[in-house]
Amino acid sequence: LAEKKVKVVFVLGGPGSGKGTQCTKIVEHFGFTHLSAGDLLRAEIKSGSENGTMIQTMIKDGKIVPSEVTINLLQKAMLESENDKFLIDGFPRNEENRAAFENVTGIVPEFVLFFDCAEKEMEKRLLNRNEGRVDDNIGTIRKRFKVFVESSLPVIEYYNSKGKVHKIDAAKPVEEVFETVKTIFSSFNK
Ligand code: UP5
Ligand code: MG
Protein backbone atom coordinates (compact mmCIF):
# COMPACT_ATOMS: atom_id res chain seq x y z
CA LEU A 1 0.00 0.00 0.00
CA ALA A 2 2.85 2.37 0.80
CA GLU A 3 4.27 1.62 -2.68
CA LYS A 4 0.86 2.26 -4.22
CA LYS A 5 1.26 5.81 -2.82
CA VAL A 6 -2.29 5.97 -1.53
CA LYS A 7 -3.63 9.18 -0.08
CA VAL A 8 -5.71 8.88 3.06
CA VAL A 9 -7.89 11.39 4.91
CA PHE A 10 -9.22 10.39 8.32
CA VAL A 11 -12.78 11.56 8.99
CA LEU A 12 -13.37 11.71 12.73
CA GLY A 13 -16.01 13.05 15.10
CA GLY A 14 -18.45 11.78 17.70
CA PRO A 15 -21.26 9.31 17.06
CA GLY A 16 -23.87 11.06 14.91
CA SER A 17 -21.66 14.05 14.08
CA GLY A 18 -22.33 13.43 10.36
CA LYS A 19 -19.18 11.61 9.20
CA GLY A 20 -21.01 9.25 6.85
CA THR A 21 -23.31 11.95 5.48
CA GLN A 22 -20.42 14.27 4.60
CA CYS A 23 -18.28 11.44 3.19
CA THR A 24 -21.00 10.62 0.66
CA LYS A 25 -20.87 14.22 -0.54
CA ILE A 26 -17.06 14.33 -0.64
CA VAL A 27 -17.09 11.19 -2.82
CA GLU A 28 -19.47 12.88 -5.31
CA HIS A 29 -17.35 16.02 -5.60
CA PHE A 30 -13.75 14.94 -5.09
CA GLY A 31 -13.41 11.36 -6.34
CA PHE A 32 -12.41 9.69 -3.09
CA THR A 33 -13.45 6.18 -2.10
CA HIS A 34 -15.33 6.10 1.20
CA LEU A 35 -14.32 3.44 3.71
CA SER A 36 -16.42 3.51 6.87
CA ALA A 37 -14.75 1.30 9.47
CA GLY A 38 -18.13 0.80 11.15
CA ASP A 39 -19.77 -0.24 7.85
CA LEU A 40 -16.93 -2.70 7.16
CA LEU A 41 -17.38 -4.21 10.62
CA ARG A 42 -21.17 -4.46 10.19
CA ALA A 43 -20.64 -6.17 6.80
CA GLU A 44 -18.29 -8.61 8.52
CA ILE A 45 -21.05 -9.51 11.01
CA LYS A 46 -23.53 -10.07 8.16
CA SER A 47 -21.09 -12.23 6.21
CA GLY A 48 -21.12 -14.74 9.06
CA SER A 49 -17.35 -14.54 9.61
CA GLU A 50 -15.80 -16.21 12.64
CA ASN A 51 -15.24 -12.77 14.21
CA GLY A 52 -18.87 -11.77 13.67
CA THR A 53 -20.20 -12.59 17.11
CA MET A 54 -17.32 -10.83 18.86
CA ILE A 55 -17.75 -7.72 16.67
CA GLN A 56 -21.51 -7.66 17.26
CA THR A 57 -21.05 -7.86 21.03
CA MET A 58 -18.53 -5.03 21.03
CA ILE A 59 -20.63 -2.72 18.83
CA LYS A 60 -23.70 -3.32 21.01
CA ASP A 61 -21.61 -2.27 23.98
CA GLY A 62 -20.00 0.72 22.22
CA LYS A 63 -16.54 -0.78 22.61
CA ILE A 64 -13.63 -0.54 20.19
CA VAL A 65 -13.00 -3.74 18.20
CA PRO A 66 -9.37 -4.98 18.29
CA SER A 67 -7.14 -3.03 15.87
CA GLU A 68 -6.06 -6.12 13.99
CA VAL A 69 -9.59 -6.89 12.84
CA THR A 70 -10.39 -3.36 11.66
CA ILE A 71 -7.01 -2.77 10.02
CA ASN A 72 -7.30 -6.03 8.08
CA LEU A 73 -10.68 -4.94 6.71
CA LEU A 74 -9.42 -1.46 5.78
CA GLN A 75 -6.27 -2.82 4.16
CA LYS A 76 -8.21 -5.37 2.13
CA ALA A 77 -10.64 -2.69 0.92
CA MET A 78 -7.81 -0.39 -0.15
CA LEU A 79 -5.95 -3.16 -1.97
CA GLU A 80 -9.10 -4.24 -3.80
CA SER A 81 -9.85 -0.70 -4.94
CA GLU A 82 -8.56 0.85 -8.16
CA ASN A 83 -8.62 4.23 -6.48
CA ASP A 84 -5.65 5.75 -4.66
CA LYS A 85 -7.60 8.30 -2.56
CA PHE A 86 -9.51 7.12 0.50
CA LEU A 87 -11.68 8.68 3.16
CA ILE A 88 -11.33 6.53 6.25
CA ASP A 89 -14.42 7.27 8.33
CA GLY A 90 -14.59 6.49 12.06
CA PHE A 91 -11.04 5.16 12.40
CA PRO A 92 -8.61 5.42 14.24
CA ARG A 93 -10.66 5.49 17.46
CA ASN A 94 -7.85 5.17 20.00
CA GLU A 95 -4.10 5.59 20.24
CA GLU A 96 -3.53 1.89 19.69
CA ASN A 97 -5.61 1.95 16.47
CA ARG A 98 -3.60 4.91 15.26
CA ALA A 99 -0.14 3.50 15.98
CA ALA A 100 -1.00 0.02 14.66
CA PHE A 101 -2.39 1.43 11.40
CA GLU A 102 0.75 3.48 10.79
CA ASN A 103 3.00 0.53 11.62
CA VAL A 104 1.15 -2.04 9.55
CA THR A 105 0.35 0.04 6.45
CA GLY A 106 3.06 2.70 6.54
CA ILE A 107 0.35 5.25 5.74
CA VAL A 108 0.27 8.68 7.36
CA PRO A 109 -2.90 10.69 6.69
CA GLU A 110 -2.76 13.78 4.46
CA PHE A 111 -5.02 15.50 6.98
CA VAL A 112 -7.81 14.83 9.45
CA LEU A 113 -11.35 16.21 9.41
CA PHE A 114 -12.88 16.62 12.85
CA PHE A 115 -16.64 17.08 12.90
CA ASP A 116 -17.32 18.87 16.14
CA CYS A 117 -20.86 18.67 17.53
CA ALA A 118 -22.56 18.86 20.93
CA GLU A 119 -23.71 15.58 22.48
CA LYS A 120 -27.33 16.75 22.77
CA GLU A 121 -27.52 17.28 19.02
CA MET A 122 -25.74 14.01 18.21
CA GLU A 123 -28.06 12.13 20.57
CA LYS A 124 -31.11 13.59 18.86
CA ARG A 125 -29.79 12.60 15.42
CA LEU A 126 -28.97 9.03 16.46
CA LEU A 127 -32.32 8.47 18.13
CA ASN A 128 -34.07 9.73 14.98
CA ARG A 129 -31.98 7.73 12.51
CA ASN A 130 -34.18 4.62 12.48
CA GLU A 131 -31.89 2.35 10.49
CA GLY A 132 -32.16 -0.45 13.00
CA ARG A 133 -28.57 -0.17 14.22
CA VAL A 134 -28.06 -2.23 17.38
CA ASP A 135 -26.13 0.69 18.93
CA ASP A 136 -28.75 3.41 18.34
CA ASN A 137 -30.42 3.13 21.73
CA ILE A 138 -29.92 5.56 24.59
CA GLY A 139 -27.91 3.11 26.71
CA THR A 140 -25.37 2.33 23.98
CA ILE A 141 -25.30 5.94 22.76
CA ARG A 142 -24.11 7.09 26.22
CA LYS A 143 -21.37 4.45 26.17
CA ARG A 144 -20.31 5.56 22.67
CA PHE A 145 -20.04 9.18 23.85
CA LYS A 146 -17.89 8.14 26.81
CA VAL A 147 -15.55 6.06 24.63
CA PHE A 148 -15.32 8.93 22.16
CA VAL A 149 -14.25 11.42 24.83
CA GLU A 150 -11.87 9.07 26.64
CA SER A 151 -10.27 7.23 23.72
CA SER A 152 -10.95 9.00 20.42
CA LEU A 153 -10.46 12.66 21.33
CA PRO A 154 -6.81 11.98 22.28
CA VAL A 155 -6.21 10.75 18.71
CA ILE A 156 -7.58 14.04 17.36
CA GLU A 157 -5.35 15.88 19.86
CA TYR A 158 -2.35 13.92 18.58
CA TYR A 159 -2.98 14.93 14.97
CA ASN A 160 -3.77 18.47 16.06
CA SER A 161 -0.31 18.71 17.60
CA LYS A 162 1.04 17.76 14.15
CA GLY A 163 -0.98 20.54 12.52
CA LYS A 164 -3.12 18.05 10.56
CA VAL A 165 -6.61 18.71 11.92
CA HIS A 166 -9.35 20.72 10.25
CA LYS A 167 -12.01 21.24 12.90
CA ILE A 168 -15.46 21.80 11.47
CA ASP A 169 -18.63 23.00 13.19
CA ALA A 170 -20.87 20.00 12.46
CA ALA A 171 -23.93 21.25 14.34
CA LYS A 172 -25.04 23.27 11.31
CA PRO A 173 -27.32 21.96 8.54
CA VAL A 174 -25.80 19.36 6.18
CA GLU A 175 -25.32 21.77 3.25
CA GLU A 176 -23.64 24.41 5.40
CA VAL A 177 -21.23 21.87 6.87
CA PHE A 178 -20.42 20.71 3.36
CA GLU A 179 -19.58 24.27 2.26
CA THR A 180 -16.75 24.28 4.81
CA VAL A 181 -15.69 20.76 3.83
CA LYS A 182 -15.53 21.83 0.17
CA THR A 183 -13.15 24.69 0.94
CA ILE A 184 -10.76 22.27 2.62
CA PHE A 185 -10.75 19.71 -0.21
CA SER A 186 -10.55 22.38 -2.92
CA SER A 187 -7.32 23.78 -1.53
CA PHE A 188 -5.93 20.26 -1.02
CA ASN A 189 -6.50 19.24 -4.64
CA LYS A 190 -4.41 22.10 -6.01
N1 UP5 B 1 -27.39 14.07 10.07
C2 UP5 B 1 -26.11 14.06 9.59
N3 UP5 B 1 -25.63 15.31 9.47
C4 UP5 B 1 -26.61 16.14 9.92
C5 UP5 B 1 -26.70 17.56 10.05
N6 UP5 B 1 -25.69 18.38 9.70
N7 UP5 B 1 -27.83 18.09 10.58
C8 UP5 B 1 -28.86 17.26 10.96
N9 UP5 B 1 -28.85 15.91 10.83
C10 UP5 B 1 -27.73 15.35 10.32
O11 UP5 B 1 -25.47 10.97 10.67
C12 UP5 B 1 -26.24 10.51 11.77
C13 UP5 B 1 -27.69 10.96 11.58
O14 UP5 B 1 -27.75 12.38 11.61
C15 UP5 B 1 -28.28 10.54 10.23
O16 UP5 B 1 -29.63 10.23 10.40
C17 UP5 B 1 -28.10 11.79 9.36
O18 UP5 B 1 -29.07 11.89 8.36
C19 UP5 B 1 -28.22 12.91 10.38
P20 UP5 B 1 -24.26 10.11 10.10
O21 UP5 B 1 -23.74 10.81 8.90
O22 UP5 B 1 -24.65 8.70 9.99
O23 UP5 B 1 -23.22 10.31 11.32
P24 UP5 B 1 -21.93 9.47 11.70
O25 UP5 B 1 -20.98 10.43 12.31
O26 UP5 B 1 -21.47 8.66 10.56
O27 UP5 B 1 -22.58 8.57 12.85
P28 UP5 B 1 -22.29 7.05 13.23
O29 UP5 B 1 -23.39 6.63 14.13
O30 UP5 B 1 -22.01 6.22 12.03
O31 UP5 B 1 -20.94 7.24 14.05
P32 UP5 B 1 -20.21 6.25 14.98
O33 UP5 B 1 -18.83 6.76 15.04
O34 UP5 B 1 -20.89 6.07 16.27
O35 UP5 B 1 -20.41 4.85 14.24
P36 UP5 B 1 -19.42 3.91 13.41
O37 UP5 B 1 -20.24 3.18 12.44
O38 UP5 B 1 -18.24 4.63 12.96
O39 UP5 B 1 -18.97 2.87 14.57
C40 UP5 B 1 -19.93 2.08 15.21
C41 UP5 B 1 -19.26 1.15 16.20
O42 UP5 B 1 -18.39 0.27 15.51
C43 UP5 B 1 -18.37 1.82 17.25
O44 UP5 B 1 -19.10 2.31 18.35
C45 UP5 B 1 -17.45 0.67 17.63
O46 UP5 B 1 -18.10 -0.22 18.50
C47 UP5 B 1 -17.25 -0.02 16.28
N48 UP5 B 1 -16.03 0.45 15.59
C49 UP5 B 1 -14.80 -0.04 16.03
O50 UP5 B 1 -14.72 -0.81 16.98
N51 UP5 B 1 -13.66 0.35 15.38
C52 UP5 B 1 -13.68 1.22 14.32
O53 UP5 B 1 -12.60 1.54 13.78
C54 UP5 B 1 -14.92 1.71 13.88
C55 UP5 B 1 -16.08 1.32 14.54
MG1 MG C 1 -21.20 6.57 10.22
- What is the CATH classification number for the domain harbouring 130? 3.40.50.300
C-alpha to C-alpha distance for 109 and 156, rounded to whole angstroms: 12
Domain-located, residue 162: yes
Which residue ranges in the chain fall short of pLDDT 50?
Answer: none
Element (H, E) at 14: none
Domain-located, residue 154: yes
- pLDDT for res 59: 98
Domain-located, residue 139: yes
- pLDDT for res 116: 99
Ligand 1 residue neighbourhood (C-beta within 6 Å): 13, 15-21, 36-38, 41, 58-59, 62-65, 70, 90-91, 93, 125-126, 129, 135, 144, 173-174, 177
Ligand 1: residue of 10, 11, 21, 146 to mutate (most ligand atoms within 8 A of CB) is: 21
C-alpha to C-alpha distance for 10 and 32, rounded to whole angstroms: 12
Q: Under a CB-based contact definition with an 8 Å cutoff, are residues 10 and 112 in contact? A: yes
The ipTM (two decimal places) reads 0.99
- pLDDT for res 190: 56
Domain-located, residue 184: no
Q: Please tell me the total count of domains within the chain.
A: 1
Domain-located, residue 128: yes
User: pLDDT tens digits, residue range 26-41?
Assistant: 999 999 999 999 999 9
- pLDDT for res 80: 96
Domain-located, residue 159: yes
Domain-located, residue 131: yes
**Nearest residue to 71 (alpha-carbon basis) of 8, 161, 154:** 8
Domain-located, residue 170: yes
Phi–psi pair at 45, nearest 5 degrees:
-60, -50
Range of the domain at 53: 7-175
- pLDDT for res 1: 78
Strands (E), 90-131: 111-116
Q: Under a CB-based contact definition with an 8 Å cutoff, are residues 77 and 40 in contact? A: yes
